[in-house]
Amino acid sequence: MFLTQEEQKMLDGKYGKGTQLAMKIQVALGEVFNAERMAPVSRTHVALSNQEADLWFVEKMVDAGAKCKVSPTVNPGFNLEYFQCITTISKEDEEMIKRTRQAYKEVGATLTFDCTPYLEKNIPRFGEITAYSESSATPFINSVYGARTNRESAQSALCAAITGRTPLYGFLLDENRAGQVLVDVQANIKNDFDYQLLGYAVPKKLKFKTPVFVNLPTDPSPAALMNLGAQLNTAGNVPMYHIVGVTPEAPTVEAAFMGKDPERVITITKQDLEAVHDEITDPGGPIDFALFGCPHFNIDQVAQVARLVEGRKLKVQLWIMTSSLTKELAKRMGYLETIQQAGGDIVDDTCMDQPCWEFLYGKKGVTDSPKCAYYTKRRNMQFVIRKIEECIDAAMRGEI
Ligand code: F3S
């Protein structure tokens, strides 16, 4: 693999052991994927998980003196101070989140603790080469902005942040961005929730292929596109898709396929969406809570919940997870107060796949997110999955 003089110096340890270790990992990754050279990155996002392996890696980098050249935004762990007020956090979990925060601070990350940085703090331009981890982020960068990223791990994205480079392979190259399978959507996709089901249904019919969607609306909301990407990468592995008329590289079907024929054509029907919904949701009945924001809600989604609960009283607890920036905006706009008056709350810096939710283990909730339901199975949480309006009605009645 060709390295510039500067990259060779990094590999030789001229910039310290941390940078050397990151470059070593990236050269190995590049060789695995036959990358000819490295490319500079201008943006990065690290999907930290606040779990042992994640902490081990970032502390190893910090101990080796690594500092990020391209400061990454980072995923949420949990908001320790918030949860200490409402539940008991074990000493081990407290220690883990404190060390995680400290390590990412020391390595030079931008501590957004948010899983939708592409809507707020970390927005690329068309064609920009970047390194993003996080399941909804990668497809959003490639398919909505037309910027370029591979589906990075937290570790490879951190290495890119440290060296300012990434091996040039995969979705960074023109020829790998072409669509492969035509997805003819013969279901009526009419709201953001339908994109959740569509994203979960497509990988049932195709794995590891780049879909080109036709017959989808050409004015999807940011939340719809966020939902689609999150679910495509919960049920499957889809770093990029094309929606004809939406994806910058797909003004036409021909452009999306770069002039080639599709390898296959698949159809998604109303029955496919219903089948996937039946498969992923737990059955209805009494519920204990409602949980939204997987991925983190944007301000429009927070506003929607505020409108739905205004002047009413929730029968069960309700939380919305979002970024600290959106929570601040919600406070300024009165949405936070409205939601709190109804008996719910907004929590920032927090992911649902964290031990802070232990007080809900063994209980049943409602959510609009298949990803939320999927990840929490291992934590023995049950979820009935419905669109937001139905979840709120259920939370008012305490059952669904
Ligand atoms: Fe975000 Fe955690 Fe869900 S990072 S997408 S809240 S699993």
How many domains does the chain divide into?
A: 3
The Å distance, Cα 233 to ligand 1 centre, comes to: 12
Please compute the mean of the pLDDT values over residues 3-22 and round it to a whole number. Answer: 98
Number of the ligand 1 atom closest to the C-alpha atom of 293: 6
CATH number of the domain at 304, please: 3.30.499.10
Q: How many CB atoms lie within 10 A of CB 268?
A: 24
Look at strands 382-385 and 151-152 and give their pairing. unpaired
The Å distance, Cα 376 to ligand 1 centre, comes to: 11
In tens, the pLDDT along 372-391 reads 999 988 899 999 999 999 99
In Å, how far are 3, 90, 93, 169 from 33, measured between CA atoms?
Answer: 15, 42, 37, 7
CA-nearest of 375, 313, 380, 322 to 343 is: 313
The Å distance, Cα 148 to ligand 1 centre, comes to: 22
- Beta-bridge partner residues of 318: 290, 344
In tens, the pLDDT along 334-352 reads 999 999 999 999 999 999 9
Average pLDDT, the chain: 97
112 lies in the same domain as 69: yes
Instruction: Determine the structural domain holding residue 263 and report its residue range.
Output: 178-278
The reported pLDDT for the residue numbered 154 is 97
CA-nearest of 149, 175, 302, 168 to 239 is: 149
Look at strands 264-269 and 289-297 and give their pairing. unpaired
101 lies in the same domain as 127: yes
| Domain end among 278, 303, 319 | 278
State percent of the chain over pLDDT 90. Answer: 98
- Return the best residue to mutate from 74, 352, 381 for the ligand 1 pocket (most ligand atoms within 8 A of CB): 352
| Domain end among 227, 260, 278 | 278
Residue with tokens 């980072």: 74
23 lies in the same domain as 161: yes
Pocket of ligand 1 (CB under 6 A): 75-76, 115, 230, 294-296, 321, 351-353, 371, 375
> Does residue 123 carry a pLDDT above 90?
yes
CA dist 166 and 13 (Å) reads 18
The reported pLDDT for the residue numbered 231 is 96
9 lies in the same domain as 150: yes
In tens, the pLDDT along 132-152 reads 999 999 999 999 999 999 999
DSSP 125-145: PTT-BEEEESTTHHHIIIIII
27 lies in the same domain as 164: yes
123, two tokens: 């927005």
145 lies in the same domain as 77: yes
CA dist 146 and 219 (Å) reads 16
The reported pLDDT for the residue numbered 90 is 98
129 lies in the same domain as 50: yes
Number of the ligand 1 atom closest to the C-alpha atom of 372: 3
DSSP 59-101: HHHHHTT---SSPPEE--B--HHHHHHHS---HHHHHHHHHHH
CA dist 288 and 265 (Å) reads 43
State percent of the chain over pLDDT 70. Answer: 100
DSSP state of 122: -
The reported pLDDT for the residue numbered 207 is 76
Number of the ligand 1 atom closest to the C-alpha atom of 354: 2
- Return the best residue to mutate from 54, 75, 294 for the ligand 1 pocket (most ligand atoms within 8 A of CB): 294
CA-nearest of 37, 58, 35 to 46 is: 58
In tens, the pLDDT along 236-282 reads 999 999 999 999 999 999 999 999 999 999 999 999 999 999 999 99
Number of the ligand 1 atom closest to the C-alpha atom of 295: 5
221 lies in the same domain as 298: no
3-state helix/strand/coil string of 182-214: EEEEECCCCCHHHHHHHHHHHHHHCCCCCEEEE
The reported pLDDT for the residue numbered 206 is 86
What residue's CA is closest to ligand 1, atom 5? Answer: 295
The reported pLDDT for the residue numbered 266 is 96
The reported pLDDT for the residue numbered 85 is 97
> Does residue 75 carry a pLDDT above 80?
yes
Q: With contact defined as beta carbons under 8 Å apart, do 197 and 230 qualify?
A: no
- Return the best residue to mutate from 48, 73, 74, 115 for the ligand 1 pocket (most ligand atoms within 8 A of CB): 115
16 lies in the same domain as 141: yes
128 lies in the same domain as 157: yes
CA-nearest of 152, 267, 253 to 204 is: 267
14 lies in the same domain as 134: yes
In tens, the pLDDT along 183-242 reads 999 999 999 999 999 999 999 998 789 999 999 999 999 999 999 999 999 999 999 999
| Domain end among 155, 174, 193 | 174
The pLDDT confidence band at residue 327, using thresholds 50, 70 and 90, is very high
The Å distance, Cα 77 to ligand 1 centre, comes to: 9
98 lies in the same domain as 186: no
CATH number of the domain at 55, please: 3.30.499
Please compute the mean of the pLDDT values over residues 174-184 and round it to a whole number. Answer: 97
